[in-house]
Structure 1
């Protein structure tokens, strides 16, 4: 088991230690029971001593009860230890993910992270439970049973000593042959989960384009591949049972032959032969347990590597010890910024961007698809780090801020609006969990959301389903804007966040911004000229560069891109989205 992952055992070390101890006590009782049974046959029954039979029988029952108690307690402790270990692992992975930047998250798909926190951790949990229970039990059982067999018959003990390594080696070889197939299975699980996630999230698109058959076929291909890989692995593992059964019966026959001869010659008694057979079965069954645990460990090894990969991921952004914890104002300065999603040496998405925005200004950003508008604003709350140059907020390089302090003062409404399961009140309070009902309602009025909320039968207590699928696109946008406003940020960024509302509502939202939060720097990315026309400054982006900066009037005179967009929308009569 990976040492790094074992750190997550933490407060469950006691249960993890007690489990094998209790298992050892259980095994001790089980090993002594055949010996007592042999004495009952060879001494009590052979001599007709009923008193001896009763005394030994009572002792036998007591030992069986003790074995039952030790076994049950070991099972309980093992379940607590393994479940607690899995709980801590999920906690550690989830908390690790919270520290990831967008760059870190880009290294893993969402479905892959979900698989690692569910299927992979379950595999590790099962392997851990079997390790502290069965892997502690099997070696002790084999050793003690061999010792007891040796005291009864050296010949039979030698046979067992020869059989154990041969059978153990064969079973371990089978497990190793199956391991690569299990590794492939978990990689395909990621693909399977991703297929399901895409289909569920895009259910409306699938139905709108009547592509259900295509999606079923796609799912079927991945599911069939998982089935085939599992089948290959299980076909190999299936050899365990016949090999085990053949060995058991072969050894029992040999022992009966040797024991029968020994009984005839008087060197062994009937009860001793019975106990030897029981010990042999205990040894062989313990070998089967070892193989089973080894197979589980092989499966879990693939999962362990995948979990460790997440835990070893180094967050690209971490607070320095002397990180600045207060943002003085909403000034924004881009100083010759270059940025590539691939890091140093990659293709630049932003090229030599030099830009200065004063606190309280309204700034509009327009540009064609792929012009890096969203990339530009994502550098302000440090969702990504610049590749070259620097971004400053309030005169301080964003890399010198505490991430929490910076992002607390930079509210960003992303292109893809996300609402969470819960009431409207609960969703808006993501901006400030301590906000009163009145404060929530106020920001909703500013975002032009109060009107449609009041029309719901439950008003602000209306429950939002997963992803916000029970509200329209425009309603979702306004709720997300209200949530951002509740933070009372020094900088508010709307990344094409009013595209689904009509122009009148868009104008009312911008008017509320200007009147109610005059000191907040407001950056509005939009496709509609009407959304940015009255901005203090408009930035025209083209191919990762700033193509022009100025007011609407200035850009109409000096910038071809802006003039072309303006004429196509305003003079051509833009249609509300």
Structure 2
């Protein structure tokens, strides 16, 4: 686990290495200053050193303080650069891992949870790392150095703080054992809060349409209050560290002043030595407090680290298993052979079962079926968004697993059921289909998708800013932009997953006409609820409860298939 995290320091390794060294320099100066101060008091003020000795030692202390400050500033700078660089690299590695996830992997982790891991959890880990590289060297060196100096000054008096250390160790152990599960629970509630916020922001129009603002506010307040209580529950145990440390520190100070004062009174101990000894005891206790803070920070961040590692260690469900790296998709033919599929990878509970059919390259295929008949699931197997559990899927005559994912998915354009546009201009979104597309290619694709006219109706045309998620366009316009984006890929297979449901029948007819004229060599698969959308397809696949009910031409289905005929007649009643 530690090795995986350390590997993310990368190019910031030099700062991570320099930080402890400069912190050691700061500590050495801090340890030497009380020693010089004791000499100045005993020899300069109480002895016969005079003003010149006081000035000399005072000047030396100032120089040492300046050096200590310089080392401290450098430690802060180097530590920050190392910590922020480490967080940047870790965040990128985590994000890259998520980008490699298959749909099944994404289904395992909720979106709010992944957002929390990329933000809060990495920030916690970054803070722990920065504290570790700064304090992990500083605290032990100060503890050892101050202890040696204190023992050098007075062995008998040094035994006082040795009594305190076991008390602190026991208290710290109890705090650590209780804190971790509380922090884990707190981070889980962070996920819940992010989930509520995300749902509200994504569905804000539905919230307002149904006047559900008060209920949403109440739900958010409940999540926020639950998180507050979890934070308090965790902090209650963590903040005990400070009072326990302070109590032990003051008890130790009182004991040293009592015994040390008596030793000064009977002449066996000098005032300067007592003053220096008190400083060293303060440094010892301060170093112990820093060590306890390190342990507490590690415990707090441990939950975050485990959540990050969980994502990094996630086994990618779909791996790029191409046997020939240069294998290309030769055509748009598709074949399903004895395909079985289950989201739970359970052969006893199949979503798709015994699916067999073959599509010739360039054919237009319609898919219909009731809600839950697994239409979307079936087409998602073609570009390997999910992998089959049984059987095989062939594209271009080859098993889809033989292609690299990039090659396969570049040749299969898919307009998903839920249309997604991104922040930026219309042109930026369209060029997701083909980054180097010319202006002519962009316009041609938009004309085929019946999007060009409404785009040009905007004052800025193709440079119109869509806003977040395409909030500036209607549902039908969004669908047509997504179709144009897919067309720009010039794929061998294009899949429209109920992608014209928000456009009128006339526009739907124009889009299908453009497809017939411009995509003669492209295999087109249309999932639709409207029979009219698949009426001119070469064949129609009828799905029923995850199984193929029929696969034939629309005319043949009208004569021989009850499901197709029932859907057709129910839709024609209102015509």
TM-score with structure 2 setting the length: 0.98
Q: Among residues 477, 480, 483, which one is paired with 1:478 in the alignment? A: 480
Query: SS of the counterpart of 2:382?
Result: coil
Instruction: Please give the alpha-carbon distance, in whole angstroms, between the structure 2 residues aligned to 1:97 and 1:201.
Output: 21
| Residue 164 (1) aligns with residue 152 (2) | no
Shift of 1:146: 0.7
Is 2:222 aligned against 1:221?
yes
Assess if the C-alpha contact under 8 Å between 2:128 and 2:298 holds in 1. Answer: yes
* Residue in 1 that maps onto 2:295: 294
The structural deviation recorded for 1:70 is: 0.6
Structure-to-structure mapping, 1:15-414, within 5 angstroms: 15-46=15-46, 47-320=48-321, 322-324=323-325, 325-414=327-416
| 2:315 alignment partner, SS class | coil
Between stretches 482-491 and 341-350, larger displacement belongs to 341-350
- 1:147-170 CA distance string (max 9 Å, x none): 111011112211122222322331
Q: C-alpha root-mean-square deviation of aligned residues, in Å?
A: 1.2
Give the Å deviation of 1:220.
1.7
1:243 Cα offset (Å): 2.0
Deviations 1:539-560 (A, max 9, x none): 1111011111112111110000
How far 1:256 sits from its partner (Å)?
Answer: 1.1
The answer to whether the 8 Å contact 1:175/1:291 transfers is no
Q: Contact 2:186–2:234 (CA<8 Å) still a contact in 1?
A: no
Aligned length: 573
Q: Is the partner of 2:422 in helix, strand or coil? A: coil
* Equivalent in the alignment of 2:434: 432
Whether the 8 Å CA contact 1:2–1:304 is kept in 2: the answer is no
Aligned to 2:445: 443
Native 8 Å contact 1:172 1:294 kept in 2: no
Instruction: Show CA shifts across 1:351-396 (max 9, x none).
Output: 1111100000010111100011101100000100011111000000
Deviates more, 1:305-314 or 1:47-56: 47-56
Gaps (5+ residues) in structure 2? none
Within-5 A mapping of 1:563-574: 563-570=565-572, 572-574=573-575
Q: Secondary structure at the match of 2:8?
A: helix
Contact 1:146–1:160 at 8 Å: present in 2 too? Answer: no
Q: Work out whether residues 409 and 491 of structure 1, in 8 Å CA contact, stay in contact via their aligned partners in 2.
A: yes
Give TM-score, length-normalised by structure 1.
0.98
- CA contact under 8 A between 2:355 and 2:548: conserved in structure 1? yes
1:271-293 CA deviation, whole Å, 9 max, x = no partner?
A: 11111111111111221111212
Q: Using the alignment, how far apart are the partners of 2:241 and 2:100 within structure 1?
A: 44
C-alpha distance in structure 1 between counterparts of 2:536 and 2:105, whole Å: 38
Q: CA deviation at 1:573?
A: 2.5
Tell me the CA shift for residue 27 of structure 1.
0.4
Any idea what the Cα deviations from partners look like across 1:52-83, whole Å, max 9, x if unmatched? 11111111111101100111101111101111
Structure 1 stretches lacking a partner, 5+ long: none
Contact 2:322–2:401, Cα closer than 8 Å, also in 1:
no
Instruction: Identify which range, 239-248 or 121-130, moves more after superposition.
Output: 239-248
Query: Which of residues 461, 464, 485 is equivalent to 1:462?
Result: 464
Quick one: distance in 2 between partners of 1:237 and 1:538? 64
Matches of 1:346 and 1:430, distance apart in 2: 39
In 2, the alpha carbon distance for the partners of 1:252 and 1:38 equals: 18
Measured in 2, the distance between the counterparts of 1:62 and 1:321 equals 66
Shift of 1:399: 0.8
Question: How far apart, in 2, do the equivalents of 1:144 and 1:409 lie?
Answer: 67
Farther-moved stretch of structure 1 (212-221 vs 147-156): 212-221
Residues 241-263 of structure 1, C-alpha deviations (whole Å, 9 max, x = no match): 32222222211111111111211
Please give the per-residue CA displacement for 1:116-139, whole angstroms capped at 9, x wherever unaligned.
Answer: 000000000000001111122111
Q: Indicate the SS of the match to 1:430.
A: coil
Secondary structure of 2:7's aligned partner: helix
| Contact residue 104 and residue 386 of structure 2 kept, 8 A | yes
**How much has 1:321 moved relative to structure 2?**
5.6
Q: Equivalents in 2 of 1:263, 1:344: separation in Å? A: 81
Output the CA distance in 1 between the equivalents of 2:147 and 2:135: 18
Larger mean CA deviation between 176-185 and 460-469 belongs to 176-185
The match for 1:4 is 4
Contact 2:347 2:389 in 1 (8 A): no
**Could you tell me how far apart the structure 2 residues matched to 1:219 and 1:143 are?**
50
SS, match of residue 167 in structure 1: helix
Kindly state the Cα deviation for residue 101 of structure 1 after the two structures are TM-superposed: 0.7
Structure 1 stretch 88-97 or stretch 49-58: which is displaced more?
A: 49-58
**SS at 1:464 equivalent:** coil
- Deviation for aligned residue 1:437: 1.6
Residues 168 and 287 in structure 1, CA contact (< 8 A), matched pair in contact too: no
Q: Aligned partners of 2:468 and 2:15: how far apart in 1?
A: 38
Alpha-carbon deviations, 1:485-536, whole Å to 9, x = none?
A: 0000000000000000000000000000000110000000000011000001
User: What is the SS of the residue equivalent to 1:16?
Assistant: helix
Contact 1:425 1:437 in 2 (8 A): no
Shift of 1:346: 4.8
CA distance in 1, matches of 2:245, 2:351: 62
- CA distance in structure 2 between the partners assigned to 1:201 and 1:321 by the alignment: 37
1: CA distance between counterparts of 2:249 and 2:257?
Answer: 12
Q: How far off is 1:48 after superposition?
A: 4.9
Whether the aligned pair in 1 keeps the contact of 2:322 and 2:403 (CA below 8 Å) is no
